[in-house]
Amino acid sequence: MPTLFDSVQAGSLSLANRIVMAPLTRNRAPDAIPTPLMAEYYAQRATAGLLISEATAISHQAQGYADVPGLYGTEQLDGWKRVTEAVHDAGGKIVVQLWHVGRVSHRELQPGGGQPVAPSAITANTKTVLIKNGVPVFEPTSEPRALDAGELPDIVHTYRAAALNAVETAGFDGVEIHGANGYLLDQFLKTGSNQRTDDYGGAIRNRARLLLEVTRSVVDAIGGGRTGIRLSPVTPANDVYDADPQPLFEYVVKHLAKLDLAFIHIIEGATGGPRELPDRPFDYAALKAAYRAAGGKAAWMVNNGYDSALAEEAVQDGRADLVAFGKAYIANPDLVERLRLHAPLNQPDPATFYGGGAEGYTDYPALVK
């Protein structure tokens, strides 16, 4: 019977344990360039079986928050190279999360002050982060414009280029495609944000088209064994919803099963919130069963509200191969050891989550041995 602390294979990734650091946006990359402080932060957490980097923009257009990193410039790639080298020197594995925010952005963050892009011209009822006078400020997102179908092949190409840059230049062990939390690929998937009438809207197969095109293109570039994907079937994050998510996501995973991915990363319930949403019921066991029935062999990663006991139970009973932890990793760089010893956890300081320097970032204490 497997435990959280046993090794596991996820595609081409040989992982020392089944504990994953979830992607955590921290807004500490001015000009979208990763810093030496970020290298220290990730290296501190390298005992995780796998680190998934904070969401990282694949292009300037893909940016949605101030001081988040990118993958589209030489200085950005050089900065990430310092991070991956630090993680590898500490014995860890790290993949980068490929991000296009779509409509969850602000004109101040877009090239030439233009409108954010989206499947349909529907403003998200949510906020983004701008930096004003050195202080993070939450601002409503700007009204987006609908993408023309002719623009979509370039977006697919940009994901592919970012994946190649990540692996071949920046030294990542692989990538995670961000298809969750109300960002661009999730916006195309869901009826609340996608009201298109072309081949990328309407029927499930059309709404899933862009996500699957992106995933196939990334797999073609770097191999399925180094590619994962993150999905959030029912989260309300960033004002996203779908009228009937069960058949939508079962369709998605059945097609992902053909691509020999490294892992499927599922957010259960509301991102950072309740695991059960009475108004949005979803059968996660049926989702996994649909994936396996279609021949999918990727490691199944679960996320949201897992503590040590729940995570251990999920691995032991076969519901999950990997368990991702988010906020716990902010304050506990040695989370693997703390979980192993059932030791108390440091509590994170929400005031230092976004922006700033070392305080609340690299200064949380490890266990005294």
E strand residue ranges, 141-261: 145-146, 174-179, 227-231
Supply the pLDDT for residue 369: 62
pTM for the predicted model, two decimal places:
0.97
Known catalytic membership, residue 183: yes
Mean pLDDT value across residues 120-135: 92
Active-site option among 42, 65, 159, 183 = 183
70 strand-pairing partners: 57
Contacts of 116 (CB under 8 A, 6+ apart): 64, 101, 102, 103, 104, 105, 106, 107, 110, 141, 142, 144, 145
Q: Which of 28, 23, 17, 16 is nearest to 53 (CA)?
A: 23
Mean pLDDT value across residues 64-82: 97
Q: What is the pLDDT of residues 87-98, one digit of tens each?
A: 999 999 999 999
Q: Which of 360, 271, 353, 269 is nearest to 67 (CA)?
A: 353
Q: Alpha-carbon torsion 281, 293, 222, 80, what sign?
A: positive
Confidence of residue 156 (pLDDT cuts 50, 70, 90): very high
- DSSP state for residue 70 in the 8-state scheme: B
- What are the extents of the domains in the chain? 8-352
Which region, left, alpha or beta, applies to residue 215 given φ > 0 means left and ψ of -120 to 50 means alpha?
alpha
Cα separation, 199 vs 270, in Å, equals 29
Contacts of 247 (CB under 8 A, 6+ apart): 204
Mean pLDDT value across residues 101-105: 98
DSSP for 103-166, please give it.
TS--GGGSGGG---EESSS---S-EEEEEETTEEEEEEPPPPEEPPGGGHHHHHHHHHHHHHII
Question: Is 150 exposed, middle or buried, given 0-12, 13-18 or 19+ CB atoms closer than 10 A?
Answer: exposed
Contacts of 318 (CB under 8 A, 6+ apart): none
| Structure tokens, 183 | 């960002």
What angle, 0 to 180 degrees and rounded to 10, lies between the N-to-C axes of helices 245-256 and 284-293? 30
Which region, left, alpha or beta, applies to residue 324 given φ > 0 means left and ψ of -120 to 50 means alpha?
beta
Supply the pLDDT for residue 295: 98
Supply the pLDDT for residue 131: 85
| Strands 127-132 and 135-140, sheet pairing | antiparallel
| Structure tokens, 67 | 């001081």
Supply the pLDDT for residue 368: 76
Q: What is the pLDDT of residues 316-363, one digit of tens each?
A: 999 999 999 999 999 999 999 999 999 999 999 999 999 999 999 999
Q: What is the pLDDT of residues 262-310, one digit of tens each?
A: 999 999 999 999 898 888 999 999 999 999 999 999 999 999 999 999 9
Query: CATH for 8-352, among 3.40.50.200, 3.90.79.10, 3.20.20.70, 3.30.1150.10?
Result: 3.20.20.70
Whether 300 and 266 have beta carbons less than 8 Å apart is answered as yes
Q: What is the pLDDT of residues 305-327, one digit of tens each?
A: 999 999 999 999 999 999 999 99
Cα separation, 235 vs 352, in Å, equals 25
Examine the pLDDT at 103 and tell me if it is beyond 90: yes
Share of the chain above pLDDT 90, in %: 95
Supply the pLDDT for residue 134: 79
Confidence of residue 249 (pLDDT cuts 50, 70, 90): very high
